[in-house]
Structure formats: structure tokens, C-alpha cells
Amino acid sequence: MKQLFTLLIIFYSIMTVGQDWVHQGSIWKYSYSEMSGMGYVTYRYEKDTLLSNESCHKLSSTNYSAVALGPTYHYDTSSDALFTYSRNDSVFFYDQIHGAWRATYFFNVHTGDSIVIPNASWFGVDSQLHAVVDTTGFTMIDTFHLRFYRFHLTDSCQMGWYGRGTVIERIGMQDNNITPYWHCVTDDTYYGFCSYEDDSFAIYKPYAHCDELPTGIHDAERDEALKLYPNPASDQVLIDYPYSGEVTQTITTAGGHIVMAGKYSKVTSVASLPDGVYIVTLSGSDHMLRNKLVISR
């Protein structure tokens, strides 16, 4: 009986603390927005392989982009690959420019720890960012107890709401791309987590706004850009919706968090929102318009 109890404890420890990083059927989906358009990127587990003398997982990456062409969008797609593995409670991604593995997620951290994160957008110049862990703990998703930690960046130009992140075991980054990057300008690309699933894990979709993204590529498909005045805005913004009928209006951060939701308002106060980049979306019965809004004071 004692031996059975010991085995159960070991099994429970493996299930709750020793979660593997990549599983059969793993699929991640992230949305993004930028000045020229918007879209989403998916990462799918493809196979196990060997790279730079390291056993790792290959993830196929497909980017679905909606590029602004005047008042319309043109949908396009491109593909790439990522390589990753986990060891000693850290997750590594391969920097193909420098031919080096970079530790990106850290599940053995404690509150107050300092960590160094590779900045994916600057892999070409070998950039790293510094952060402090704010919170650690466990969260229940599906039937799994998963470790998580939250952090904030301490580099000067990354301070504020965008320079923060949450990482969940098995699922990864929640406030940025799977290989996160941060920047010091407003005219850049902003990522947000949409969903994760695998063969033994029910789909996890914390943000409903991701359902609004296109799911296929159709050259004839067009979405009109929403007209916002002024943009950048400080206290209020004029939202020009040219169609009739009942319309819902949402404003989300670039990372996908809803900060305002309700009925369409032609003049909307944004005085309570911090400086940053947001997405304004109006959804009618047969139209959906959106655009990026910059708030700067």
C-alpha cells in the first residue's frame, strides 16, 4: 500500500509539475496588428529532429496577413519554421541568424527574480531584455495544473502596459508572440495570444476577439479600413461607420485584451486609456471594419 501511495505521488508530481513543452498535435495561434495591416500566425508541431547537436521539436509557422491597399485589405500567406526544446524547466528557441539556442521561458523562477529574455525582433543584433518576475503559481486549464509566471521589463523604453508578460507551462507566451519581441516605437508589429490545443488538450481560447480574424485566404476578400479622427488621439476619437443597422464596438490592446465594449458611439472618449496602440473594431450584421488607434499625449 505504501509503495502504491509513493507511485501515485510520483505520478501526480509528473502530471502537475513536469509538463512537457511540445505535444503531439500542438497548435498555437497568435494575432497581430501593424500600421500596414493585420493577421495571424499559427505554429504547428511537425516532427522531432536534431539541430546543432540538440534533440528538438520542429514547429511549422504559417503567417496569414491582411495588407492594407488603400481602403481595402489583400490577404496573403507565407511559411517558416521554428525549433525548440525544453530542459531543466527552461524552454529554448533556436536563433537561426547566430546559430545559437536562446533560453526564452523559465518555469523555475520565483517572485522577485531577475531574468534575461532574448528579443526576437532583434535576433539579428543579438539583443536581450531584462525583466523582473512579479508573480508565480499554478493555474487550472482543461484538466491540467500548469505553472505560470508574470514579469515586467525593466529596460527604459519598454516600461508601461506593453512591457509585461505572462507565460504558462505547455501553452507559452500570452501577451506577445511565441518568441516574444518588444520595441520602442509605435509603428511596429504587436502580437497577442489567440489559442492553443493538442491531441490531449482541449482548445484554450481566452480572448473572443480572435474569432474575428480571417480563417482562410481569399484574394477577392476585402475589408474596409475604419476611419478614425484624430489618429493619434488624446482625449476622444471620432469613429466613422458608414453603414446603418445595429453595430457593436470594441477597443482592444494590441495584445488582445478588451478595454472597451458596447454599442457604436460616433464620438468615443479615450481619456481613461493609457498611451499605446489599440485596435478599434465595429461589427454589424454584414460588415466588420477595424483600424489601429494610437493614443499619445
Per-residue pLDDT of the chain (297 residues; tens, 9 = 90+): 545 444 444 444 333 333 479 999 999 999 887 666 677 889 999 999 999 999 999 999 988 776 544 444 445 556 688 999 999 999 999 988 888 999 999 999 999 999 999 887 544 445 788 999 999 999 999 889 999 999 998 876 654 556 788 999 999 998 889 998 877 665 567 788 889 999 899 899 887 666 555 443 333 233 456 788 888 888 999 998 777 778 888 888 766 678 888 888 889 999 999 888 788 888 776 667 777 788 887
Fold classification of 227-295 is Immunoglobulin-like (2.60.40)
- pLDDT value at residue 9: 41
The C-alpha atoms of residue 152 and residue 165 are separated, in whole angstroms, by 6
> 130 and 154 in contact (C-beta within 8 Å)?
yes
Query: pTM for this one?
Result: 0.67
Spans of all domains in the chain:
2-212, 227-295
Q: Is the dihedral of CA 162, 179, 192, 122 positive or negative?
A: positive
* 21-30: burial string, b at 16+ Cβ within 10 Å, e else: bbeeebbbbb
The C-alpha atoms of residue 161 and residue 190 are separated, in whole angstroms, by 13
- What residues contact 75, with CB distance under 8 A and at least 6 apart? 39, 64, 65, 66, 67, 214, 217, 218, 219, 221
- pLDDT value at residue 212: 54
The C-alpha atoms of residue 61 and residue 67 are separated, in whole angstroms, by 18
